[in-house]
Amino acid sequence: MRKFSDTPLGKFFGFERKGASMLRQGLALVKGNPHIIETSVREVWNNLVGVPLYRRFDPGGSTLPGEITLDLTRRCNLKCAMCTQIRHTAEIPPELSWYDSERELPLSKWIDILDQVTAFRPRLHITGGEPLLYPGFRELIREAKRRRFFTRVTSNGTLLAGMADLLVSLGVEVVSVSLDGPEEVHDRIRGVAGAFRRTTAGAKTLLELRNALGKRIPLLAVICTVSKDSLNTLKETVPLALALGADVLEVHHTFFDSPGNVAKHNRIFSADRARRRGMELILPEVLDFEYYRSRIEAEDLALLQETLSEMRERAKGRLNMVFVPNLPRELIGPYYLDLEYAFPEVCKSLWKSCRIYPDGSVAPCLHVYIGNITEQPLLELWNSPGMRAFRETINEGLFPACARCCSRRFT
């Protein structure tokens, strides 16, 4: 029997919660923004009924998206080792227009997107790059909250101290920051000295302001990423999150690929195949410097399994935890060591969420280009011929580059 936390309703807020803590945090979110109820009911209905019906009877179409992700910028002030954006020393191809800082959307275009979707009010996920580098960030948050969107901001946290007053006063529901371990480990992984101090200072400022104003939101989520570099000190993120006063600790398994798998993918998902299916690709499909290569080996598995178990125990009753993906112990080995392991060939993200890149491009994944919101309304793009063709293709089976994507199912 599935745990409640594994059901669509239990997963709505993106966290695995238990008991009184779950109730307190849920009530705090609803009190801060009653429209969350409307958003959650629609999303649960789509997950349980709408999306399955479309995937079975009209796999190209979809109900309205439950979440809109706004990638405000691809600029970032860190150089994270495991980032899936183009590697830091690589020259960015001009075809990938969303990396061009000169082509970032003006604030007015983002506000126009908010107006287009206010009627059904999906969750907003504001991210990047580092979204706090976007010059219109403050005003965009104001406009999002004026329209009563459930809003989550994901940041590396280094600029958070200067934005904490805004996020608390306007009632942003969730703020997520990255913390990969003790100071030395975190700074090495994030590629910039002092990143740990600035991130923890920002998180503390956020919570101090929240407490001073007697508020329960924003909830603070600390995100740590599993990698070879963090493995030996990964369990220390639990006391670090507790010391900060975080509400949630998210443990993310690395999303990675390999040169052989990428080459295989590019052979299979070719320009000719895309053209026959009515899709537009930006080639090459996956670039050699556009993915992270995991260094976790068979000899690391025992330590990783024990570490994750110990983290659960240390957090029990004290800190809500979520694992992304939520792998049982026996699947951790296949996840890291076998890119061809027979995980379920299922991805539902194309029916549930939409990502808009900094220049307005809608490219759901794998360099499949659907269009640009400066040229066509978002909801027309959402069920456009290209998007329908891509959904139909993915409904038939995944591609090699989907092997370790955060959007697919692993259990």
Which tens digits make up the pLDDT trace of 307-365?
A: 999 999 999 989 999 999 999 999 999 999 999 999 999 999 999 999 999 999 999 99
The chain-wide mean pLDDT, for the chain, equals: 90
- Three-class SS state of 396: helix
Which residue, among 349, 359, 334, has the nearest Cα to 391 in the 3D structure?
A: 349
The reported pLDDT for the residue numbered 247 is: 95
Looking at 17-26, 47-56, 115-124, 293-302, which range is the least confident one?
A: 17-26
- 251-257: average pLDDT: 95
3: confidence class by pLDDT, cuts 50, 70, 90 = very low
Q: What is the share, in percent, of the chain residues with pLDDT greater than 70? A: 91
As given in the structure block, the two tokens for residue 227 are: 């990698």
pLDDT exceeds cutoff 60 at 7: no
- pLDDT (0 to 100) of residue 37: 78
Q: How far apart are CA 127 and CA 117, in angstroms?
A: 18
To which residue do tokens 């946290």 refer?
Answer: 157
DSSP letter, residue 128: S
| pLDDT more than 90, % of the chain | 77
DSSP assignment letter at 173: S
What is the C-alpha separation between 148 and 394, in angstroms, rounded?
33
pLDDT of residue 16: 42
* pLDDT tens for each residue of 368-406: 999 999 999 999 999 999 999 999 999 999 999 999 998
Can you give the C-alpha Rg of the chain in angstroms?
20
Q: Scanning the structure block, which residue is given the tokens 């690709």?
A: 281
Say what the alpha-carbon torsion angle 157, 134, 13, 195 is, to the nearest 10 degrees: -10
Q: Domains plus CATH for the chain?
A: 1-32 (no CATH), 42-402 (3.20.20.70)
CB atoms closer than 10 angstroms to residue 242:
15
* DSSP symbols for 248-270: EEEEEEPP---HHHHHHHHHHS-
Please give the pLDDT value at position 214: 92
* pTM exceeding the 0.85 threshold for the entire prediction: yes
Question: Can you tell me the distance from the alpha carbon of 233 to that of 236, in angstroms, rounded to the nearest whole number?
Answer: 6
Instruction: Tell me what pLDDT residue 297 has.
Output: 96
Maximum distance among all alpha carbons in the chain?
59
Over residues 116-133, the mean pLDDT reads: 95
| pLDDT tens readout for residues 28-84 | 666 666 767 777 888 888 888 988 899 899 999 999 999 999 999 999 999 998 888
- Sheet containing 174-178: order of strands: 320-324, 248-253, 219-226, 174-178, 151-154, 123-127, 67-71, 353-356
Helix axes 107-117, 137-146, angle to 10 degrees: 20
193, pLDDT greater than 80: yes
Question: Which class for 227: exposed (0-12), middle (13-18), buried (19 or more C-beta within 10 A)?
Answer: buried
Indicate the SS3 state at residue 345: coil
